[in-house]
Amino acid sequence: MTTQPLIKLHDGNTMPQLGLGVWKAGIDDARNAVLKALDVGYRSIDTAAMYKNEAAIGQALQETSVARDDIFITTKLWNDDQGNAQQALETSLKKLQLAHVDLYLMHWPCPERDHYVTAWQGMIALQQQGLVKSIGVCNFRQTHLKRLIDETGVVPVINQIELHPMLQQRELHAWDVLHQIQTEAWSPLAQGGKGVFDQPIIKQLAKKYGKTPAQIVIRWHLDNGVVVIPKSVTPSRIEENFNVFDFQLEKTEISQITQLDSGHRLGPDPDTFN
């Protein structure tokens, strides 16, 4: 199995391109999934205050033999806490049993609340204190990103967005690239692959490469330069999702998957979710 690539963020820090997501994972499932993932070779774990499983992640980090410095931990600032990022992060760190996290993300812009610039200023302060190494955002559109940059001068290192073959957000991804913001995909498999895994091109490529449809879709993300965090609590799938570094898709195959984009959003609309 080829070693997974590292992505260099614009602040000079690096992160693995493939990580484990734990959205909707219960306490025991999250702990077991993280331990399995670390055993398989994952070195990036993505959680959030809103997931209510940070304590389980912290427990797994205490139990694993993998050194803390070798694990990239992401957590997120929830919408209700945008007015007090310091307290929110300190609560997360206590649950995670960590002195710092590698990446802290603002979970949603919540434009009607209009607190996201203030929240971002709070996150900048947290980075300056050394409580977080890198700071970024989730679900931000170009207008939200531009305002953050214009009003604070600090560019997020990451924009984590819903991204899968049915919702490719190519214009936003291109804007991120132009501004040196790394795009990261949540729900990269379209929440279980419904409407994706049965697409003829996905099935054809799975047969060609001797891979599963999920592995083809993860490889498509990687070949597009996107950081990807597929969620699973099933040991066999956690291992399967990581076994994607021994092949690459051809440019024509990537283009064929591009044709699947239908703009179908599974999660909330960032302009209206508050």
Query: Catalytic residue positions?
Result: 51
| Residues whose CB falls within 8 Å of the CB of residue 17, separated by 6 or more in sequence, listed in order | 4, 5, 6, 7, 222, 226, 227, 228
Beta bridge partners of 228: 18, 185
Residue count of the chain, please give it: 274
CA distance 255 to 25: 33
Alpha carbon separation from 75 to 20, 49, 63, 241 (Å, rounded): 12, 7, 19, 21
Return the structure tokens found at 177: 């690239």
Alpha carbon separation from 183 to 168, 175, 211 (Å, rounded): 11, 10, 25
Looking at the chain, list the stretches that DSSP marks H as alpha helix, in order from N- to C-terminal side.
Answer: 27-40, 54-63, 85-96, 116-128, 142-152, 170-178, 190-193, 200-209, 213-223, 235-242, 251-258
Return the structure tokens found at 230: 């597929």
